[in-house]
Amino acid sequence: MKKSLRILLASPRGFCAGVARAIEIVDKALERFGPPIYVHHEIVHNPHILDDFRARGVIFVDHPDEVPTGGRMIVSAHGAPPATFERSRTRGLRLVDATCPLVTKVHREVSHYVRRGRRVILIGHRGHAEVIGTSGHAGEEFDLVETAEDARTLPIRPGVDYAYATQTTLSVEDTADVVGVLRERIPEIAEPLRSDICYATTNRQAAVRTIAPRCDGMVIVGGSNSSNSRRLVDAARAAGCPRTWFVSRGADAPLAEFDALKTLGISSGASTPERLVDELVDALERRFAVDVETVSVTTEEEQYKLPSLSALHG
């Protein structure tokens, strides 16, 4: 007889509006123009999506110079610095921007601060594609802090007006700590009217925090370089579920380790296709007598308009 296992599915989970839009842009570009379509950086941080696109003729590049003159290039959902767009134009590339509108919002804020003569403190992960893109709007000099400790030790320049902005996919709680330190050290610091951490990141973390106390194990499905997926692991552990596994797809889950569990939580990052969660649930159903409950903390209705693809013509 199969052992019983209760599964709590966190909701919302999986694709956000920005990821769905970026994928649709590449899909439509392939349909309309055929391969090759070049994409600056990984369109979204999920290896399975990238493999599917590679098989259909998408070539991922790190720099516009890797694209032949006149080639068709799409900028990923994470955005890119202005220099990438300038270089692409100089090289005569046909360009469409799939930057998530919520990342673009942060770019605009940062540019606004710089125009007002403020020095920007960017809260985010060094080397992450979104941070590289946003820092390109932050003027000649800016500061990057990753942790509350960084914020505590950041040299503050007298007579300088500061502002801060954050990566969209950070831990809500850790970022609140970093911002708390900055506000204490720089009481006049300018800040976004609404948090830069996006709705999708916030909702997915809230859903994981809600189910974590009811679970004795949790699986987060996501790409290894997906910031928002990684933060779900942190959220689960911080909310009381220390046995949290991070897997790229259901087939990678250590099913034998779940034999000791009564209740397993499942969630997935904003760039994770739902089929990878389905694959995990199917594998669990083969091994256990499962009882699945979806726990929803909110519903999401965000949808972002696709840009015109006319710039790819010709």
As annotated, the active-site residues are 130
Sign of the CA dihedral running 42, 45, 47, 51 = negative
Q: CB count, 10 Å around CB of 126?
A: 12
Q: Residue 279: what residue type?
A: E
Residue 223 parent element (H or E): none
Q: Is there a contact between 79 and 21 (Cβ–Cβ < 8 Å)?
A: no
Q: Which of 230, 294, 298, 295 is nearest to 268 (CA)?
A: 230
Asked if 270 is part of the footprint of ligand SF4 (rule: CB under 6 A), the reply reads yes
Give the residue at shortest CB distance from ligand SF4: 18
Of 90 and 303, the one with the shorter C-beta distance to ligand SF4 is: 303
* Residue 109 CB, nearest approach to ligand SF4 (Å): 13
Asked if 19 is part of the footprint of ligand SF4 (rule: CB under 6 A), the reply reads yes
Of 88 and 168, the one with the shorter C-beta distance to ligand SF4 is: 168
Residues 167-196 that bind ligand SF4 (CB under 6 A): 168-169
Asked if 99 is part of the footprint of ligand SF4 (rule: CB under 6 A), the reply reads no
Q: Which one of 76, 84, 88, 201 is in contact with ligand SF4 (CB under 6 A)?
A: 201
- How many secondary structure helices (H) and strands (E) does the chain include? 10, 12
Asked if 46 is part of the footprint of ligand SF4 (rule: CB under 6 A), the reply reads no
The structure tokens listed for 288 are 């256990």
* Alpha helices for the chain (secondary structure H): 17-33, 47-55, 82-90, 101-115, 129-135, 148-153, 172-185, 199-211, 227-238, 274-287
Residues 64-83 that bind ligand SF4 (CB under 6 A): 77
Residue 184 CA to residue 310 CA, distance in Å, equals: 49
Asked if 18 is part of the footprint of ligand SF4 (rule: CB under 6 A), the reply reads yes
Q: Which one of 88, 135, 228, 267 is in contact with ligand SF4 (CB under 6 A)?
A: 228
Q: Which one of 67, 95, 100, 211 is in contact with ligand SF4 (CB under 6 A)?
A: 100
Stretch that binds ligand SF4, among 10-18, 48-56, 65-73, 252-260 (CB under 6 A): 10-18
* Residue 105 CB, nearest approach to ligand SF4 (Å): 9
Q: Which one of 29, 75, 198, 236 is in contact with ligand SF4 (CB under 6 A)?
A: 198
Q: How many residues bind to ligand SF4 according to rule CB under 6 A?
A: 15
HSE-up of 15 (CA within 13 Å, CB side)? 17
* Residue 259 CB, nearest approach to ligand SF4 (Å): 34
* Residue 138 CB, nearest approach to ligand SF4 (Å): 18
Q: How far is CA 165 from CA 131, 139, 181, 186, 245, in A?
A: 10, 13, 14, 14, 30
Of 79 and 217, the one with the shorter C-beta distance to ligand SF4 is: 79
Q: How far is CA 160 from CA 21, 147, 190, in A?
A: 39, 22, 12
Residues in contact with ligand SF4 by CB under 6 A are: 16-19, 77, 100, 102-103, 168-169, 198, 200-201, 228, 270
